[in-house]
Amino acid sequence: MADIFQLLAERVLAGTPATPEDALAVLRADDAELVSVVAAAGGLRRAHFGNTVKVNYLVNLKSGLCQENCRYCSQALGSAAPILKYSWLSKDDALKQAGAGLGGGAGRVCLVSSGRGPSSRDIDRVTDMVVALKEEHPDVEVCACLGLLSDGQAERLKDAGVDAYNHNINTAESHHDTIVQTHTYADRVDTVEKAKGAGLSPCSGLIAGMGESDEQLVEALFALRELGSDSIPINFLMPFDGTPLENTWELSPARCVKILAMARFVCPDKEIRIAGGREMHLRSLQSLALHVANSIFLGDYLTSEGQAAHADLEMIRDNGFVVLGSEEELAQRGPADPAIRRRGAGTDRVPNA
């Protein structure tokens, strides 16, 4: 019998997008079909990203003390989770933290702050950090994640050299109001649109395991496809004690792999990132998940510790992947194309002599 997931992958690769019914079939695949699902989704991953893994590093610029009431969040109003709480890191501290991630192999730094959204002064702080970071590390990609944006803020970030903006839709529109009441789903979408409008690469994803139905997970994913999110972090709920969702355990490792595979079938050429909850929920299937997703966070998360960074890098190597932008990856790209001369004779620029 033909493998239905392989047929789906071939169809998607040939340009016919996956439908919500296809996505549900992936999500509801029997555990006995897990390897077939991974093989088919893995083919799409390889077609678009080869053997590369994008490695991202989080810097939590401001932790806790948030006035919003997102039920999953350890930094939210009313959360009793014993997390680190601090106000803005200094520029030097932020640069030091970012430098550690880059030294560890990350290619993108995600500068994150808790809170509903940034003030004009907060944007000043972050743009200052970004200018300094890019001076020190010209090749770094910077993603900012500062909450809901007001008019003009995305443009200021873009002008300072920010490459991408993260704002997750988190869950389906039909489930949103059971998860948070202090802002709306439309507020979230509006911020992603503002980022896109300013020319920032939109990064928006979801959190699975918050009481949503299969159909709602599919709804969220198709909303992200519609939004044109370039990178899609897939988080698995970490049910912190002291938050309203404590003791919410709905995910198995196999289900997490199927969620990632579903994301790959629906958005085959987008960066699918295994985000928060990777170690806790995928456990020994982390490696398998890497054959479907093409991006991870290195090391720690915003308020919780991840596995040791060297174990992340070892997992990448052991599975035959290379870190995007690493010397190994650059070597496999082969020699660069000849650079066309734009200086010296025939120009008014100084010669290379």
The radius of gyration computed from the CA coordinates of the chain, to the nearest angstrom, equals: 21
70 is a contact residue toward ligand SF4 (CB under 6 A): yes
x/- track of binding to ligand SF4 for residues 141-160 (CB under 6 A) = ------x-------------
Stretch that binds ligand SF4, among 73-81, 221-229, 315-323, 344-352 (CB under 6 A): 73-81
Only one residue has tokens 């969702």, namely 245
User: Please, what is the end-to-end C-alpha distance for the chain in angstroms?
Assistant: 67
Closest CA to 265 of 52, 47, 51: 47
Instruction: Please tell me the distance from the alpha carbon of residue 278 to that of residue 281, in angstroms, as a whole number.
Output: 6
- What residues from 257 to 316 belong to the interface with ligand SF4 (CB under 6 A)? none
Question: Of 170 and 294, which has the nearer Cβ to ligand SF4?
Answer: 170
Task: Give the helix/strand (H/E) hosting 108.
Answer: strand 108-113
Give the nearer residue to ligand SF4 in terms of CB position, either 166 or 294.
166
Of 29, 55, 73, 111, the one binding ligand SF4 by CB under 6 A: 73
Among 22, 27, 45, 68, binds ligand SF4 (CB under 6 A): 68
Nearest to 223 by CA among 268, 260, 174: 174
Cβ atoms of 132 and 95 within 8 Å: the answer is yes
User: Which residues, at least 6 apart from 185, have a Cβ–Cβ distance to it below 8 Å?
Assistant: 169, 173, 176, 177
Output 46 or 85, the one with its CB closest to ligand SF4. Answer: 85
Q: Do the Cβ atoms of 247 and 239 come closer than 8 Å?
A: yes
| Contact with ligand SF4 (CB under 6 A) among 9, 12, 25, 76 | 76
Nearer of residues 147 and 205 to ligand SF4, judged by Cβ: 147
Report yes or no: 280 and 289 within 8 Å, Cβ to Cβ.
Answer: no
> Does position 41 bind ligand SF4 by CB under 6 A?
no
Q: Does 114 bind ligand SF4 (CB under 6 A)?
A: yes
Choose between 182 and 213: whose C-beta lies nearer to ligand SF4: 182
Which three-class secondary structure state does DSSP give residue 215? Answer: helix
Q: Is 110 annotated as a binding residue?
A: yes
CB of 39 to ligand SF4, least distance (A): 35
Closest distance to ligand SF4 from the beta carbon of 248 (Å): 16
Complex with ligand SF4: residue 25 or 302, whichever CB lies closer: 302
3-class SS at 143? strand
66 binds ligand SF4 (CB under 6 A): yes
By C-beta, is 16 or 67 nearer to ligand SF4?
67
Q: Please choose, from the candidates 137, 72, 78, the residue with its C-alpha nearest in 3D space to the C-alpha of residue 111.
A: 137
User: What phi-psi label fits residue 147: left (phi over 0), alpha (psi between -120 and 50 degrees) or beta?
Assistant: left
What is the C-alpha separation between 275 and 51, in angstroms, rounded?
19
Task: Note the Cα 37 to chain centre separation in Å.
Answer: 22
Q: Does 231 bind ligand SF4 (CB under 6 A)?
A: no
Binding footprint of ligand SF4, residue count (CB under 6 A): 9
CA angle 298, 212, 301 (to 5 degrees): 15
Taking CB under 6 A as the rule, does residue 172 contact ligand SF4? no
Name the binding residues: 66, 70, 73, 110, 143, 203, 273
Tell me the binding residues for [4Fe-4S] cluster: 66, 70, 73
Give the interface with ligand SF4 as residue ranges (CB under 6 A): 66, 68, 70, 73, 75-76, 114, 116, 147
Q: Binding site for [2Fe-2S] cluster: which residues? A: 110, 143, 203, 273
